Chain A
């Protein structure tokens, strides 16, 4: 059977890179004694795949790992066994059974939604919600094109981000309970996460060919409003990953799953 595991990553575990996170789960799956299916050969590996890597320093509520099991096990039991093997900063959110003919999460991933906030800001342009709202409207939402230089391994090319931005909103002040949950160290680090500080939510294309990183978009926006790159640092929290279904975006948690 195939299952999709949704997990969340908070606090200090955000410093683990994608490969380390994969290795963490490979060991956890074994400790949890899940009946994982293995590849053939002298060095068998677990049949598992991640929807999309998460950069170092980013927290998340919507990470996905697809597993193939060689025996039946209830989703509740899988969740329970796996959760027992996590550190307190990794939460198993849900386990869903997948249709047998489902696609790889990686292949159907269409978009990802994020919270973007300021870790640090030293610029002179005021960072008030009202002022920013206008700028977002003008430079992003109403703009015909959002042209940025995108660096690839070989060269830089100009890309229009506008069609890849599905949604972008500005919010007046951060919720303290949320800040405490995802980044309990926000006060020590003086991140701008108080009830006064504005932040963004955004849904950006995450197809492997057209993945838009929030940093790229934020660099563009801040440049438009006259803030230099060394004057701000952003923090990112991934909310969820989404697939396209009947012209709508739905969470991977609900896509091709068996209810």
Chain B
């Protein structure tokens, strides 16, 4: 049988021990002695979350196609096991070989959300790898970071040897070839490799850059320490979506993962240009897969997994050009196979309602609208080109079609937000409720309609038109949620409306981590030393420890959140070129804050963001 890293007595005393045994269907086993490079790929959160991430599955497939590389997986051990591993000094191991991570050539960590930063330190500590890149020696793995958070890697720059900026499909072969060549020729040393890899496009080696600050803490200079190191790092983009590697035999976890289904990415990017949305910017240009590619992937993946559900993945599935044809195909194929279809991120209109009535139980399901802001003025600021008429028309058709549960997503704390904008949120819900009672005759109703408002607090992200915006103190967020709640109670149909909001301090911290600079590393380390990890989990998040960590490091979090940033300021992430021009972001900032007007989407009219230079995708349609 397989050799397990954990003894039976450990596995028998922890929760869900099957998280740690590996050997899932479609996992890839090789012999360590047959490969040149061992790559440990980590998602720094619990197994069920990590296994649901498509990015790792794509790269797992791509890396393991190479005979000279064995890519394995590692996730954050849950606190029950973490405690035992520390007490018994059990080194963190990968799932496939169950070998210690510290013996690998690379440890690659995907950074999907800022609140996982302390878990990165947990991974390093359990692997017995020094926290600070500068303290690592020849025997330690090269620690790499990738994923959306690397569009501002500075708050965690001290913990990583390398960051990969952009889509992994592009440069990993070059990285592996370089590493292997240096090892074989005997020219390898950690420093020599880091120096050489820094010249590969998209690769950022933080230790080769020097940051200077003025006495107030503003960045005055950000330069490479050596002449042959590039000053600007260019985001890597894969323009050939139909030939990009894709896991046609995805791993099937034994333990039920959050995404317990086939996930099919239908396109990458978004044409919409919502000004708060980082993904909508940094995945530009919008690139679709061909209908025939999707048909082939869907059938193969269902065959190879036996999953009973398939879900489409994209930022805005309704914008996929061949959606009606593809859905027809799926409905037919899935009916034969008794497979469910799940369709997130569809705009509510006649077409999507028709589709949803075919694939789900109307009585049990709820419809989701994401107006993101309550008033038209506010929606103009964020470039959410959705009008009240469109929303209510969609709702009306849904009510006629038999739905009576609606979820509405909004953000609070957006730039220029006033009390009026906040009150417009429950007002919209009220109008929707009234519409229900006006539209659906009494005898056809199944009780009250159920309008659920959910708000998150706005966090400005790097490489968005709102990247200069100020945030609010935690108290003020709660105050605004209070205004919403009080106003909701005054609505005529308040019994049909409910309201939930996110935690405020998490938002503030996420704000600091999203737009912080290198000085933040010490705060993250301090917070971890105080016991913070699994911060993305409400039950483990302790705001007081973070507050102490900021105070003890002498760092004022408000510096990163409360003030509006000047257009002239050097932003910590300015050295990255995502392919969108600075002037586009500045124009969009002006159109948001001052003109408060909508910018047309990529298919209506090109706004000259700069992504035409990638020579493909939506920019060259038609």
Give A residues with C-beta under 8 Å from B: 10-13, 15-17, 19-20, 23-24, 26-31, 38, 41-45, 56-57, 85, 87-89, 119-120, 184-185, 188-189, 191, 233
Q: A10-B1, A27-B305 are in contact. Are A15 and B25 (CB under 8 A)?
A: no
The answer, yes or no, to whether B594 is at the interface (CB within 8 Å) is: no
A-B contact pairs, 11 of them (CB 8 A): A10-B1, A15-B11, A23-B256, A30-B307, A31-B306, A38-B338, A44-B338, A88-B1, A89-B23, A185-B4, A188-B3
Q: Which of B288-326 contact A (CB under 8 A)?
A: 302-308
Q: Is the CB of A185 within 8 A of B1?
A: yes
Smallest CB separation, B169 vs chain A (Å):
28
Say whether, besides A28-B306, A31-B304, A57-B12, A89 and B7 are in contact (CB < 8 Å): no
Docked Cα-Cα span, A24 to B302, in Å, equals 15
- Tell me the smallest distance from the CB of A15 to a CB of chain B, in Å: 4
Give complex CA distance A56, B8 in Å: 11
Whether the Cβ atoms of A184 and B337 lie closer than 8 Å is no
Q: Judging by beta carbons under 8 Å apart, are B256 and A20 in contact? A: yes
Is there contact, CB below 8 Å, between A16 and B18? yes
The 4 closest A-B pairs by CB, nearest first: A27-B306, A30-B306, A11-B1, A184-B1
Measured CB to CB, the closest approach of chain B to A65, in angstroms, equals 15
Question: How many B residues have CB within 8 A of the partner chain?
Answer: 32
Residues of B within 8 A of A56 (CB): 12, 17
Cross-interface CB contact of B23 among A10, A12, A19, A189, cutoff 8 Å? A12
A20 touches B255 (CB 8 A): yes
Residues on B close to A: CB < 8 A? Answer: 1-4, 7-9, 11-12, 16-18, 21, 23, 25, 252, 254-256, 302-308, 337-338, 340, 360-361, 364
Instruction: Enumerate chain B residues within 8 angstroms of A13, measured Cβ to Cβ.
Output: 21
**Distance to closest chain A CB from B607 (angstroms):** 42
Q: Given A10-B1, A20-B256, is A15 in contact with B17 using a C-beta cutoff of 8 Å?
A: yes
On whether the beta carbons of A15 and B21 are closer than 8 Å, the reply is: yes
- Which residues of A lie under 8 Å from residue B252 when comparing CB positions? 27
**Contact: A87 with B11, CB < 8 Å?**
no
Given contacts A16-B18, A31-B304, A45-B308, 19 further A-B contacts (CB under 8 A): A12-B23, A15-B11, A15-B17, A15-B21, A20-B254, A23-B256, A27-B306, A38-B338, A42-B361, A85-B25, A87-B23, A88-B1, A89-B1, A119-B9, A185-B8, A188-B3, A188-B7, A189-B7, A233-B9
Which residue of chain B has its CB nearest to the CB of A120?
Answer: B9
CB distance from A235 to the nearest CB of B (A): 8
User: With A and B bound together, what is the CA distance between A233 and B11 in angstroms?
Assistant: 14
Given A188-B7, A189-B9: A11 in contact with B2 (beta carbons within 8 A): yes
Docked complex Cα distance between A244 and B394 (Å): 61
| CB within 8 Å for A43 and B256 given contacts A11-B2, A185-B8 | no
The answer to whether A24 and B254 touch across the interface, beta carbons within 8 angstroms, is yes
Contacts of A57 in B (CB 8 A): 8, 11-12
Tell me the complex Cα distance, A57–B8, Å.
8
Q: Which residues of chain A have C-beta atoms less than 8 A from B304's C-beta?
A: 31
Residue on B nearest A181 in the bound complex, by CB: B1
Question: Please, which residues of chain A bring their CB within 8 A of the CB of B9?
Answer: 119-120, 189, 233
In the bound complex, do residue B3 and residue A185 qualify as a contact, i.e. CB atoms below 8 Å apart? yes
Contacts of A31 in B (CB 8 A): 303-306
B288: min CB distance to chain A, Å: 29
Q: Among the listed B8, B12, B360, which residue makes an inter-chain contact with A42, where contact means beta carbons less than 8 Å apart?
A: B360
Are B254 and A30 touching (Cβ within 8 A)? Answer: no
By a CB distance below 8 angstroms, the chain B residues around A43 are 340, 361
Contact B18 A15 (CB under 8 A): yes
Q: B8 — which chain A residues lie within 8 A by C-beta?
A: 57, 119, 185, 189, 191
* Complex Cα–Cα for A31 and B339 (A): 13
- Whether the pair B18, A30 counts as a contact (CB closer than 8 A) is no
